[in-house]
Amino acid sequence: MKKEELSGKILYAILFLAFIPLLQLWWAQSLENIVRFPAIESQAGGMIIGISGLLLMGWAMFSLKKFGKGLPMNAYPPVHFVKKGPYHFLRHPIYWGYCMLMTGVFISIGSAGGLWIVTPISLLAIIALVLGYEKIDLKDRFRDADMSVLLDIPSSADSFPSLVKRIVSVFWVIALLITSNYVVWFLTHGSTSILPDSRGLKYFNRLNGIQFLAVPFILLVPLIVKSNILLHRWVISVLSGIALCVYISLLWPSVGAQYFYAGNQQAGSNESSILLSVPVFLTLLSAATYSRQFKKWTLPVMGFSIIIIFLQLTNTRSFTVNLIVSVFISLVTANSSAIWLFIRKTAETIANSWKEWIFGHVRIINHGIYVGLGSFAGILFCGLLVGQAYAWGILIFAFVVTVFAALWAQLIEGSDKLKRPFGYYGALVGIFFASAILWWMGYNGWVVIGVISVVMPWVQATGRLRCLVNGCCHGKPTSNTNLGIRYFHSRSRVCNISGLKGEYLHPTQVYSILWLFVVGFLLLALWLNKFSYSFIFGMYLILTSTGRFVEEAYRGEVQTPVWKGLRLYQWAAIFSVITGIVFTTINVQLAELHPGYGWEIWVAALLGGFFILFAMGVDFPRSNARFSRLV
């Protein structure tokens, strides 16, 4: 082994076996006085979970060394693809084990910050690493390998489901349902519904045990369906429905967490009824699957389903809220393919919608309208959250970060063809300069940073519509025609710079938009629950950067440098995550704010919208000076 390679492996081991775990422990301890979540403390339970995770990690590492002839290091990967040991059952068992170890440690020491912030963020980072690097790397190195594992959910092949896949389906649904029920109940059991209308149905509340008919009703689905296609759709819709339910429940407990039974308000409630609570949307999704499988029995199945659903609704905290949320989740998850088809076709239409109007030496491009409107709406929303006292501060902030976005992109991407590009990470650098200016002017810079962090994901999402039209931030070619979008307009960067006209490309702008909307609602919930401005900013950096890490892996811009297997902005995303972690540990005193609209907010929003429209949608096509042309 070469000395340089040995040194690299030692540094890699120190990073992942010492530095990162110590960073996570420090982060957890630093959050104890900042987050306001209840802790779970059980030394025995924590030790069982932690030791189980440690054993799983050790088994997986041993298997990689023995069968893969290598180490569990992305920089120095095993030579052979491994499907023995825990890799026969699970994908990425080392990560599963590490998450169990983290959970066990934080339960043992009773760390609320570690359990509810550090562990989920670490899990998110692991998912980003897998999707944004490891999955792609494995496919490149082992193109012909069978990468399926025993605990994979059923495929969508048109065949009869095996007994193993039926049992696996039941396992994942039960595991996720029980885990999500406990987490949601533990964190929200003191919440009250925005419309507590179940109390008037006293007779039906006496039938408290009947709603448990829903448990066998949903668990029989994977055991009796006769098509892998149906089983696959059911599992995907159920698992994604549970995930969406958890998201809504934790962000808005008064809306999403109302599917628990009315008697389970208090901490001493019966645990079996908590863990086995079946949200109504699961009954709806299962009823639809039964109807597709047994079409002749549709009416009896639907009738029985309605009875179960009615009993579920009458026993929960809110009949109306539970029904509305359940129908919404059912419609979204059951029609996810149709929704994606609509999104993809709309994205392709926007991507080929370039229009321009020339007036003498000035050109106006239609894609600037998206960012102009997004900035206008963003500043208005800031006014709703902080009031007009900060109107001009927010406008100055927007101006400075836009200038830095342009300067950054000139250094990284500027060329004869790209006279006025913009770079997101330049905007992040500009945040610190803008904050210094605001402090000098007498504003509370933390307030502006906090509120900008809340609205930025949605402003960025509208900006991605501009990217679609402009052809920037585009994806790599993909063979999946149900996934990719095509560009044909000659003005698009895809056609005139990357030379990928007419090819199916990953819709990376759409990936970004979808993730940014998820992040935006989460940050808004943090603001409404009065979290520290620095914590909100830190979470903004962490969440947007993990999404950006994955997005970058599927982008296909030829001008972006690559170093050590990662694109430049993937390295920038890693640095942003670390920066975000530091900011979450800063405890900033909340300021007294007076939300509301006044003429100053409207004027600031209009000026900000027109400035961004001009910067990103108006240029001078006859000039060759720097910053003159957008294309």
Mean pLDDT of 515-527: 97
Please provide residue 157's backbone torsions phi and psi, each rounded to the nearest 5 degrees.
Answer: -65, 150
pLDDT in tens, 581-597: 999 999 999 988 888 77
What pLDDT does residue 206 have? 55
Q: What is the pLDDT of residue 487?
A: 97
Give the pLDDT mean for 7-29: 88
Map 578-625 to HEC letters: HHHHHHHCCCCCCCCCCCCCCHHHHHHHHHHHHHHHHHHHEECCCCCC
Q: How many other β-carbons are positioned within 10 Å of the β-carbon of residue 433?
A: 14
84/97 Cα distance (integer angstroms): 16
Mean pLDDT to the nearest integer, 345-351: 97
pLDDT at 200 over 50: no
Q: What is the pLDDT of residues 64-90, one digit of tens each?
A: 999 998 888 877 888 899 999 999 999
Quick one: pLDDT at residue 261?
67
User: pLDDT, tens digit, for every residue of 19-47?
Assistant: 999 999 999 999 998 988 999 999 999 99
User: What pLDDT score was predicted for residue 353?
Assistant: 96
The pLDDT score that the predictor gives to residue 301 is: 87
Single out the residue of 350, 277, 385, 369 nearest to residue 616, CA to CA: 369
- Give the DSSP H or E segment for 365: strand 362-365
- Percent of the chain having pLDDT more than 90? 66
> What distance in Å separates the CA atoms of residue 533 and residue 444, rounded to the nearest whole number?
11
Distance (Å, rounded) from C-alpha 49 to C-alpha 119?
A: 14
pLDDT tens, position by position, 552-579: 999 998 777 788 788 888 999 999 999 9
Cα dihedral across residues 545, 549, 554, 557: positive or negative: positive
Taking only the tens place, the pLDDT of each residue in 222-241 is: 999 999 999 999 999 999 99
Which pLDDT belongs to residue 413?
62
| Amino acid in position 190 | G
pLDDT at 146: 85
| Distance of alpha carbon 481 from alpha carbon 507, whole angstroms | 11
User: Among residues 605, 616, 611, which one has the least CA distance to residue 392?
Assistant: 605
Could you tell me the two tokens for 420?
């006025």
Round the average pLDDT of the chain to a whole number and report it. 89
Q: How many residues does the chain have?
A: 631
| Per-state percent for the chain, helix, strand, coil, to nearest 5 | 65, 5, 30
| Residue 131, pLDDT above cutoff 80 | yes
**What is the tens place of the pLDDT at every residue in 391-449?**
999 999 999 999 988 888 777 665 555 667 788 888 888 898 999 999 999 999 999 99
Distance CA 420, CA 426 (A): 13
pLDDT(389) > 70: yes
Task: Count the alpha carbons within 13 Å of 49 in the hemisphere toward its beta carbon.
Answer: 20
Is 80 exceeded by the pLDDT of residue 266?
Answer: no
What confidence score (pLDDT) does residue 268 get? 42
Q: Decide if 434 contacts 401 (C-beta within 8 A).
A: yes
Report which of residues 313 and 469 the model is more confident about.
469
pLDDT over 70 percentage in the chain: 93
Instruction: Return d(Cα 403, Cα 398) in angstroms, integer.
Output: 9
Q: CA–CA separation, 319 vs 458, rounded Å?
A: 32
**Which pLDDT value is given to residue 334?**
95
The helices-and-strands tally (H runs, E runs) of the chain is: 27, 5
Q: What is the rounded CA–CA span in Å between residue 360 and residue 365?
A: 14
pLDDT at 203 over 60: no
- Let me know: does 275 contact 181? Beta carbons within 8 Å: yes
Contact criterion met (CB below 8 Å) for 395 and 604: yes
pLDDT of residue 468: 96
CB of 24 closer than 8 Å to CB of 47: no
pLDDT at residue 1 tops 60: no
